[in-house]
Amino acid sequence: MPLALLALAVGAFGIGTTEFVIMGLLPEVADDLHISIPTAGHLVSAYALGVVIGAPLLAAVTARMSRRTVLIGLMALFVAGNVLSAFAPGSESLLAARFLSGLPHGAFFGVGAVVATTMVPPERKARSVSLMFLGLTVANIAGVPVATLVGQHLGWRATFLGVSVIGLAAIASLAALIPHDHTHATARGLRGELAALRSLPVWLALGTTVAGFGALFSAYSYVTPMLTDSAGFAESSVTLLLALFGVGATAGNLLGGRLADHSLRGTLFGGLTSLAVVLLLFPVLMRAEWSAALGVALLGMAAFITGSPLQLMVMEKASAAPSLASSANQAAFNLANAGGAWIGGLALAAGFGTTSPALAGAALTVLGLGVASVAYAVDRRRAPAGGRERLVASHVPQEAEALHG
C-alpha cells in the first residue's frame, strides 16, 4: 500500500479526535464558560451541522481543483477551526468555531477516498479506503481518551490546541506524500459532479448508509444505560468498555476492506446481516457482564465491516463524478448519527425497555438491506447484459493518469 495513505490516516485521526472528544469534555466546557451542560451539548450539534453542510458544498466548489491542494486546504480549515475553538472567549464564538471545524470533515473523507482508490490497483481499492478510515477508528481507541485526559488536567482549550498540532502534522504529511496531480484538467467540474446526484442508484446508496449506520447509532447512543442498568456495570467501567467498541470497529474496518476487495456486494450484505444479528441478540447479551462486553466489541466490528463497502458503493453508483457523491456519503453518516439516536430514543420513550434501541436498530438494518437490494436491482436493469460489478473501475484510468501526471 502507498505510504501516501498514511497522510490520509493522520488527517482522519485528527478529525476523529476532535469530533468525539467534546462529548467527554462537556462538563469542563460548561463550567469554564458558565453555561449548562445541555447548552454545551449544542457544540456537538454544531459540529455535525458543519459536516452535513460542508461535505457536499466544499466538494462541489472544489471540483476542478487539484485534489492534493483540496486535501491540504481542507486540513488547513480544520486547523483554523480548532485554534479558534481553543481561544474562543464565550459559548457563541465556540459554537461558531465548532461549526467551522466540522465543515471540512465530510469533504476530506470524500475526496480522500477518491484519491486513495486512484493510488492502488483495482483489487485493493476497498483496503485503501479502510486504511484511511483506520485513522478514524484508532482515534476512538487512543486519540479521544488521551485528548480527554489532557482536557481534564490541563483544560479543554489545551485539547483543541493539541488537535491543531495533529492537523499541522497531517498538512505536512499530505504535502510530502500525496503525489502532485492535475485533476483540474480532467475533472468534470461542478456541473458534472451535480449531475451524479440526479441518479436514483446514488440516492439509494446514500439511503443505505443512513439506514445501515442509523442502526448502529440507534443502539450505540444508549449503550451506557444498557451497560449499567441491564448488564450491571459500574459507571466508572463504561469508558473502558467503549474502548472495546473502538477495538471492534478497527478490526471490522480492516476486515471489511479486505473482504470488499473480493466482493463488494457480498461484504455489504454480509456486514448488514451480521449487524442485524448482533442487534437482535443485544437483549440477551446485556444480561451478564462478560457477554455485554463481547456484545459491545461485536457491535463495533459488525458495523464497521460495512464502512468501506458503503463508501465504495456510493462511488460506484456515481463513477463518472465520484467526489461530490463520496463527500455526500459522509453527510449521510452524520444524518445516520442523528436519526439513529432519535429512533432509539423513541423506543426508550415508548417504554419498551433499556435494550429496545438495539431492536429498533435491527429494524433499520433490515431497511438498509432492502434499500441496497433495490439499488443493485436498478443497476441490473440499466446495465447491459453480461455486466459485472465495477468496484469504481470506470473512473480509475482517467483519474489515476491525472493523479500521477
* Higher-confidence position of 293 and 398: 293
Identify whether the C-beta of residue 40 lies closer than 8 Å to the C-beta of residue 29: yes
What is the rounded average pLDDT for all residues in the chain? 84
What's the average model confidence in pLDDT over 213-227? 87
pLDDT digits (tens, 9 = 90+) for 278-315: 999 999 999 999 999 999 999 999 999 998 898 888 88
CA geometry: angle 238, 52, 44, nearest 5 deg: 35
Q: Where are the alpha helices (DSSP H) in 87-141?
A: 91-118, 125-138
The pLDDT, as a whole number, for residue 404 is 42
The pLDDT, as a whole number, for residue 1 is 63
Of 325, 401, 402, 321, the C-alpha closest to 67 is 402
**For residue 349, how many other CB atoms are within 10 A of its CB?**
9
pLDDT digits (tens, 9 = 90+) for 95-121: 999 999 999 998 898 888 888 888 888
List, in order, residues 6 or more apart from 384 with CB less than 8 Å away: none
Q: What is the pTM of this model?
A: 0.79
**CA–CA distance from 288 to each of 132, 230, 235, 281, 357 (Å)?**
35, 8, 15, 13, 18
Structural domains present in the chain: 4-404 (1.20.1250.20)
pLDDT digits (tens, 9 = 90+) for 57-84: 888 888 778 888 999 999 999 999 999 9
* Higher-confidence position of 71 and 399: 71
Identify whether the C-beta of residue 245 lies closer than 8 Å to the C-beta of residue 299: yes
Binned at pLDDT 50, 70 and 90, residue 215 comes out as very high
Question: Is 371 a residue whose pLDDT tops 80?
Answer: yes
**For residue 360, how many other CB atoms are within 10 A of its CB?**
23
What's the average model confidence in pLDDT over 239-247? 84
Question: Is 392 a residue whose pLDDT tops 90?
Answer: no
pLDDT digits (tens, 9 = 90+) for 144-192: 888 888 888 898 999 999 999 999 999 999 998 888 764 443 445 566 6
pLDDT digits (tens, 9 = 90+) for 310-362: 888 888 887 666 777 788 888 888 888 878 888 988 888 888 888 999 999 99
What's the average model confidence in pLDDT over 193-222? 85
